[in-house]
């Protein structure tokens, strides 16, 4: 695969986003920390960014990365049009909810229960939250 191909860039974005999110999440300890100074101090106690060992067994990814991976799984699945893509997204989002244990999914994420059969008529409508819809 060429170094500057779209696929290589996509893979790099996925990996860097996941690693960056895992570091920034730090098992939930830093997710809602508003003090960059405090995070940097704690990061130095861990040996600095260059010495962090992001072990998936000890340093979990966040709910955001779980959803990011689900979106990527849908994007790389076989689909030919928007309707099929939205069905793939709905399926992956349903599946990823099983991987939220120990994470901090927000209200919109937790309340998102897509029904693929309903998407066939409203594939162009995205759920914003349980009270609002965003129309294209």
pLDDT by residue (tens digit) across 79-132?
999 888 888 888 888 888 888 888 878 776 666 555 555 555 555 565 555 544
Q: Residue 136: pLDDT above 50? A: no
Whole-angstrom distance, CA of residue 9 vs CA of residue 55:
24
pLDDT by residue (tens digit) across 43-68?
999 899 899 877 777 788 888 889 88
Q: Is 66 exposed, middle or buried, given 0-12, 13-18 or 19+ CB atoms closer than 10 A?
A: buried
pLDDT classification of 135: cutoffs 50, 70, 90 = very low
């Amino acid at each position: 695969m060429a170094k500057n191909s779209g696929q290589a860039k996509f893979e790099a974005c996925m990996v860097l986003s996941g690693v960056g999110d895992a570091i920034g999440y730090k098992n939930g300890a830093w997710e809602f920390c508003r003090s960059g100074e405090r995070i940097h101090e704690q990061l130095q106690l861990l040996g600095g960014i260059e010495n962090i060992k992001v072990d998936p067994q000890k340093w979990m990814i966040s709910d955001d990365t779980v959803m990011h991976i689900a979106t990527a799984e849908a994007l790389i699945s076989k689909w030919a049009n928007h309707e099929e893509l939205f069905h793939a997204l709905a399926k992956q989002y349903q599946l990823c909810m099983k991987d939220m244990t120990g994470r901090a999914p927000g209200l919109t994420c937790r309340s998102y229960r897509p029904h693929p059969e309903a998407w066939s008529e409203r594939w162009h409508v995205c759920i914003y939250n349980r009270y609002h819809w965003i129309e294209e």
